Amino acid sequence: MSRPAWDWKLSDLVNVQQHGHTVFSCFACGGGSTMGYKRAGYRMLGNVEIDAQMMRIYRRNHNPPHPFLIPIQEFKGMPNSELPAELFDLDILDGSPPCSVFSTAGAREDKWGGEYAFREGQAVQQLDDLFFDFLDVADKLRPRVIMAENVKGMLIGKARGFVSLVLSRMRRMGYRPQLFLLNSATMGVPQKRERVFFIASRQDMSFPELRLEFNEPPILYRDVRSGIGSPITSGSKTLQRWYKKRPPDLNMGDVTGREEGKISNFNTILIKDQKVANTLASSSVFLRDDVPQHISDTDIIRMQTFPSDYDFMDADVQYVCGMSVPPVMMQRIAEQIYLQWFKAK
């Protein structure tokens, strides 16, 4: 009996049939997208990453031929003669520009146009400009396909104007963009993670319209649950609230709203055995619903479809996973791009 897609190891990649099409990744973080492409038979040429810790982890697990530990603004400004020639014959340029300013949590519009450090130790950047820095790289390298992933919040409210600007820029660059809202729970991932994907093909490639329809059966939390999670801190408000929860409660915001007359701690999620797990965010807290424990690191790795032999080195497992695209999610998309576009060409 074959193993489920979420149960795998990096060492399994040696058995994947290669078709030779190439990918280069920006904002690569832990390499969730990279692993998805590799599972789909692509050759990863390298990455651009600003975070030194993430780059160490990326190099340890993926051994990229051409890694660039620099801000994307510096990368796009490098002379073409200083870049590997194969980057100018690229099949897919992949990127997940940091998306916190488009999150539906908080007063997101107030953040637009401001400069922030994405996390402690990183350079301060204007985060909503990074998408256009990524498109500048695409215009420089001229890949056959541009793939950009971002949060569902881009399709809500005023952010839709930003989406229109992105699509217009892609068209001016000579690409035909398509926009997809996909849920990882329908793609063999044990997690409800909705993400927007901008997929654009270069006009001279004459590719047909890409069709992405996924209907895999849901994978419940009980299917991936493993080990004993760390206990909720004794005497803490979180533990007190956990004992006051009721069966319909989905997060601690439900508890505080009912018990304390205020909604807070909605990012403390109650994970239930009989349901698909919520989106694995790097900053959320995930508690088991039936015992006063956090979910285990193994749960996190499986929910995100990371390989069981991934070396997280000195980084927090939830941070690396939460900041990455689930490999199986990207694999499903990358397979269809190959089948519908590259193989059929």
- Enumerate the active-site residues: 99
Smallest CA-to-CA distance from 277 within 217, 216, 332, 224 is with: 224
How many whole angstroms separate alpha carbon 36 and alpha carbon 102?
24
Contacts of 248 (CB under 8 A, 6+ apart): 254
Smallest CA-to-CA distance from 328 within 188, 186, 147 is with: 188
How many whole angstroms separate alpha carbon 154 and alpha carbon 324?
18
DSSP class of 342: I
Contacts of 128 (CB under 8 A, 6+ apart): 101, 102, 112, 113, 162
Place of tokens 């301060």: 124
